[in-house]
Copies of this chain bind each other. A is one copy, B any other.
Amino acid sequence: MTRKIRLGAFLPGGGQHIASWRHPDQPADGATSFAFHRRLAETAERGLFDAYFLADGLAVGFGGAREGGNARVAGFEPVTLFSALAPLTQHLGFIATSSTTYEEPYTTARKFASLDLISGGRAGWNVVTTTGDATAQNFNRDTQLPHADRYRRAHEHVDVVRKLWDSFEDDAFLRDKETGVFFDPEKLHDADHKGAHFSVKGPLNVPRSAQGHPVIVQAGQSEDGRDFAGAHAEVIFTAHQNVETAREFYADVKARARAHGRNPDHVLIMPGVSPFVGRTEDEAREKYDRLTGLILEEDGIGLLNGLTGGTLDLKGHDLDGPLPPAPPTEGMKSRQELIRRIADENGFTIRQLYRWVASARGHFTVIGSATQIADTLQEWFETGAADGFNILPPWLPTALDDFVDLVIPELQRRGLFRTAYEGRTLRENLGLPYPENRYSAARAASRAAE
């Protein structure tokens, strides 16, 4: 089977670009409209995307300022939203973000196992450590945990969750009405975990789904984040401004996966791409200029502050001057560095910087015809920079429609993308292996050794 591009659709109902809600095509109440999210899921499925992907935050300020122009100030909790969308779709996967810092492993394991069961094996968990003091203050703390502590907790959290997901072996359920034996207690297993951060006896009260475990997804790019990706992640969402840093990242994470004893082909690297698609390049540029022109100054400033850890107060600065220095914080380190690098490399003023990052919050923006965009994706895919992409349409739904109607057919013509879903589950569509239950595997191994 030839290697195919994997595609995630990053579709917050409020739009990705900071001014997207002001776009004439975007419903102003999209962030809190279930009907609109349903329309987006149906379009993503029509486009044969692998999965619908949503970020998440546990505070109002997430992903932008708590000021009047932020359309993402309120919305759905992603696991409940995806549960509701699952029965309305048949093939699309659902990758929901959930925090290892502010949830307990039993709760995490349970809600994703339940979504996986509801969807017939189409769930993924985007593992995040969740940054920001505003969030910490919603969970009995004054300030966030240091970056390294968050990652230590994340490693343990994921280990416990995966163990809990194996609580029932696949053949544990006998359901014999005659004898009254519903399940085999020998095939139900405690996790018996006692670690530095968590103590969890188990077992989990949800069985495995058609895909065994939800797919583990991750997006950190710092040293800690890359190490975590190599150890655990099956899909990696990453932000790069050019193919060179993407290639470096790709090679590095695949090597880390290998060092952890994993098959690097089972670690899919999917950079974010924000596409402005036109029938011509000029039309695409017009779309870009139109949306960029809708950004309010205070929202642009608020966005930069949010993306750089909440310490960069640009009020009063000359927006047509350079970005002032600011110390790194314990927030999302890789994102802070990326934003500053974009400013430095391009010699951007503050205004130019926020205009550039507003479309994709640091992800790669491509502007062009379907042919040009397919050329770029193909180059990244064929030169060791990507196994696929997370597509972040800058506004919704028409920028998603453009991608589905113009770019997908071009990728299909080139043999780079599927023309029908291959499987029933997210894992099958992504070409990821079915994780054998650890206890069944241990029993088989001990039987073989006898």
User: A interface vs B, CB < 8 Å?
Assistant: 19, 21-22, 24, 28-29, 32, 34, 38, 57-60, 62, 66-71, 73-77, 79-81, 83-84, 86-88, 102-104, 106-107, 110-111, 113-115, 117-118, 120, 134, 137-141, 167-168, 173-175, 177, 180-185, 188, 198-207, 294, 296, 299
Contacts and interface: CB of A to CB of B under 8 A. Distances in A.
B181 A74 contact: no
Given A58-B106, A106-B58, A76 B206 contact: yes
Contacts of A177: 21-22, 24, 28
A299 B181 CA distance: 10
Contacts of A202: 60, 138
Nearest to A115: B80
Given A71-B182, A139-B200, 11 more contacts: A24-B177, A32-B117, A60-B167, A69-B181, A73-B205, A80-B83, A80-B111, A83-B83, A84-B118, A102-B104, A180-B296
Contacts of A24: 177
Contacts of A115: 80
Nearest to A56: B205
Nearest to A67: B185
A132 to B, nearest CB: 12
Contacts of A138: 106, 200-202
Contacts of A299: 180
Contacts of A86: 84
A367 to B, nearest CB: 23
Which A-B residue pairs are the 8 nearest by beta carbons?
A28-B175, A77-B114, A137-B201, A83-B83, A80-B83, A80-B114, A106-B138, A83-B84
A118 B134 CA distance: 26
B80 A205 contact: no
Give the residue among A59, A66, A120, A182 with the most B Cβ atoms within 10 A: A182
B87 A180 contact: no
Given A21-B175, A68-B184, A118-B84, A140 B200 contact: yes
A2 B59 CA distance: 45
